[in-house]
Structure 1
Amino acid sequence: MRLTTSIKTALVSLASSLALSSIAAHAQTELKVYTALETEQLAEYAREFNKAYPEIHIKWVRDSTGIVTAKLLAEKANPQADAVWGLAATSLLILKDEQMLETYAPEGVTNLSPKFRDNSAQPSWVGMNAWMGALCFNTIEAKKLGLPKPTSWEDLTKPIYKGHIVMPNPASSGTGFLDVSSWLQLFGDQKGWDYMTRLHDNIARYTHSGSKPCKLAAAGETPIGISFAYKGASLKKKGAPLDVVFPKEGLGWDMEAAAIVKGTQNLEAAKKLMDFAVSKAANEMYNKNFAVVAMPGVAKPIQYYPANPETLMIDNRFDWAAQNRTAILAEWQTRFDGKSDPK
């Protein structure tokens, strides 16, 4: 039976309406999120977020901490990001001082430990987890070279390690900056710079990524990489011949945090991201990789981390680190930047 023209037109119109309805039902808000999370974490973070908010699509913009921070500051007059999820708290404190963050108290934020949230009357950021400094020590390469396993930061200045240590550049790496700022807090200003001068004599190169020294150690390209615990533990789980060493003087650390960028056109979607970032589900996700998370009572022991990680973390003065970041980096670059990898 042939269809009349009017029936065909009606069917085409109906099909078009149904198609448009389907598209509308699956329409998503795109949220541009700047981050310094490790690349392999991004898919899981987005997937878990979408379980709660399937209507929001995260478009990640990922780079090292220093580069993301510099990018956000450069875009101050014309913000391109909607939110930040996974950037050092010291960086967010700088952005807060520049009045670049939207104030918002996510639902459930008071369930977080006080040290993992902005306790201002109008909070601008929320903490996620702590990442802490550590050494990645390649046992096979060290044995070939006759290198003993270091147990302290001071050990790294011994002549036997000359040319066998790789470290992140603090200007581009959040891990590098937490190391430098923690040494200045641990040893004091004068002794801290003296320590870094002696350490510099043994450094082979400074990388622009906090995880790269550990990756180089895992690959046997250096016996010792100054890096952070998550990367060492994850590579060791994959079979790398690494010992993850936690220097006995204490561990520098920083807090990964999240915030809304002021001026976003997707404010409601960004608020939902913050609500998820402080949720129990999110903290359980953080705990898959980090031994210390923002919500008390959630964290379970992580393989290859110390049993008591919080007791090893220094009393980090985040405000001091943020306020002095520019001066610290300028001094560091004047003294040590000659061994940095090309940008």
Structure 2
Amino acid sequence: MNTHKSTRPLAMALCAAALSLAAGAALAQRTPLLVYTALETDAMKLYKDGFEKANPDIEVKWVRDSTGIVTAKLLAEKANPQADVVAGVAASSLALLEQEGMLAAYEPKGFKELTPAYSDTKRPPAWVGMDVWAATICFNTVEAQKRGLPKPESWKDLAKPIYKGAIVMPHPASSGTGYLDVAAWLQMWGEPEGWKYMDALHENIAQYVHSGSKPCKQAGAGEFSIGISFEFRAHQVRKSGAPVELIFPKEGLGWDIEATGIMKTSKKMEQAKRLADWMASKEANQITSNWWAIVAYPGVAKKLEGIPENYEKLLAKNDLNWSAKNRERILAEWSKRYEGKAEAKSN
């Protein structure tokens, strides 16, 4: 009897078991990194998979909500921060965290390749941009025709009485998109004129909803004729076949930057820096360009249907540090005037 042959399957089985145990142990030893985000759920999986493939010893644990909620949560946790990294959150929110002394300044690898205008101006930067997102009006042509509504060309058009009850907009305390609209109007026209405009617009608003995507989805579904939203969601809704036209108001578009920052209190600084490095990489920017017309890495963005060629030139003048510094005051004033039409918050 050949004992060598008969023991081979056993040896192979033991070897396979040992390998699977080792693989299991390696997975078990992965360092969890808690990342607060306002990224769209469609994007989160691609970033996580791409990063973990390049960094198999780290596991990204997302905590997701809309921008305003994430910002409020981070500020509420200031005395005992939980997050290691903030990624895919408005730069105006990260500028606020930086003003509160909550972010670690860090220049990721390859930072010099990125467009400097889309990151913090300090060196090393406290936050690094991923992409720009900007205001877009979703106009349901079928619904508008039924109601005899003309196509608006400007923000000022939306204040005309003909649009009464036809418009939905994001709530600026919950939604980064809602806040960038309000901040843009106040900066474009000055505060007295900006509030006067919002008073007139308020007359036509059916509801302020707690998401930047929802107004365009509602317009796409025909619930309302007009949804104030942002270009990524507008592009997606149009691509899905909804009878939606994208309008880029001629006065200029409010905008913000999705950005990444490291929490100063993270006990996993080395892993947090590796995530920041990866988020600044060409690979991550290529993922970003699936949705965004302007990304931080030059030459990576693709042409998106319905987004004009001169899109970058349509962006309004915007001081993100001013938006951050005045956020609390602006939201308090906004709430005092307009909270009555806010959508009920779901628990």
With the shorter chain as reference, the TM-score category is over 0.9
User: Given the two structures, how large is their TM-score scaled by the length of structure 1?
Assistant: 0.94
CA distance in structure 1 between the partners assigned to 2:53 and 2:312 by the alignment: 31
Deviates more, 1:87-96 or 1:120-129: 120-129
- Name the structure 1 match of 2:284: 282
* TM-aligned CA distance change 1:81 to 1:148, over 3 Å: same
The answer to whether the aligner puts 1:135 opposite 2:137 as a matched pair is yes
Give the AA of the match of 2:319.
R
Q: Secondary structure of the residue that 1:314 maps to in structure 2?
A: coil
Superposed displacement of residue 24, structure 1? 2.7
User: Given the two structures, how large is their TM-score scaled by the length of structure 2?
Assistant: 0.92
Superposed displacement of residue 206, structure 1? 0.4
Superposed displacement of residue 19, structure 1? 4.8
Superposed displacement of residue 107, structure 1? 0.3
CA distance in structure 2 between the partners assigned to 1:83 and 1:248 by the alignment: 37
CA distance in structure 1 between the partners assigned to 2:292 and 2:174 by the alignment: 22
Check conservation: 2:107, 2:123, Cα contact below 8 A. no
Q: Secondary structure of the residue that 2:317 maps to in structure 1?
A: coil
Give the AA of the match of 1:86.
G
The answer to whether the aligner puts 1:147 opposite 2:116 as a matched pair is no
- Name the structure 2 match of 1:4: none
Check conservation: 2:87, 2:259, Cα contact below 8 A. yes
* TM-aligned CA distance change 1:303 to 1:54, over 3 Å: farther
Superposed displacement of residue 238, structure 1? 1.0
1:242 paired residue among 229, 241, 244: 244
Give the AA of the match of 1:24.
A
Deviates more, 1:89-98 or 1:277-286: 277-286
Superposed displacement of residue 163, structure 1? 0.5
- Name the structure 1 match of 2:49: 47
- Name the structure 2 match of 1:218: 220
- Name the structure 1 match of 2:79: 77
Question: Identical aligned pairs, as a percentage?
Answer: 56
CA distance in structure 2 between the partners assigned to 1:222 and 1:140 by the alignment: 11
Superposed displacement of residue 31, structure 1? 1.3
- Name the structure 2 match of 1:268: 270
Superposed displacement of residue 122, structure 1? 3.0
Q: Secondary structure of the residue that 1:26 maps to in structure 2?
A: helix
2:124 paired residue among 113, 122, 125: 122
Q: Secondary structure of the residue that 2:242 maps to in structure 1?
A: coil
CA distance in structure 1 between the partners assigned to 2:70 and 2:114 by the alignment: 25
Q: Secondary structure of the residue that 1:306 maps to in structure 2?
A: coil
Deviates more, 1:83-92 or 1:261-270: 261-270
* TM-aligned CA distance change 1:212 to 1:275, over 3 Å: same
Give the AA of the match of 2:70.
V
The answer to whether the aligner puts 1:25 opposite 2:33 as a matched pair is no
Superposed displacement of residue 14, structure 1? 7.9
Q: Secondary structure of the residue that 2:70 maps to in structure 1?
A: helix
- Name the structure 2 match of 1:209: 211
User: Unpaired runs of 5+ in structure 2?
Assistant: 2-6
CA distance in structure 2 between the partners assigned to 1:17 and 1:47 by the alignment: 26
Structure 2 matches for 1:1-343, cutoff 5 A?
Answer: 18-27=19-28, 28-343=30-345
Give the AA of the match of 1:339.
K
Superposed displacement of residue 13, structure 1? 9.5
Superposed displacement of residue 15, structure 1? 8.1
RMSD (Å), alpha carbons? 2.0
Give the AA of the match of 2:23.
S
Deviates more, 1:43-52 or 1:14-23: 14-23
CA distance in structure 2 between the partners assigned to 1:183 and 1:18 by the alignment: 61
Q: Secondary structure of the residue that 1:201 maps to in structure 2?
A: helix
Superposed displacement of residue 230, structure 1? 0.7
Check conservation: 2:34, 2:62, Cα contact below 8 A. yes
Superposed displacement of residue 296, structure 1? 1.9
Check conservation: 2:128, 2:280, Cα contact below 8 A. yes
Q: Secondary structure of the residue that 1:239 maps to in structure 2?
A: coil
CA distance in structure 2 between the partners assigned to 1:210 and 1:121 by the alignment: 31
Give CA-to-partner distance per residue, 1:245-301, whole Å, 9 cap, x none.
Answer: 111110000000001112212222111111111111111111111111112222221
Give CA-to-partner distance per residue, 1:18-46, whole Å, 9 cap, x none.
Answer: 55422233342221111111122211221
Q: Secondary structure of the residue that 1:147 maps to in structure 2?
A: coil
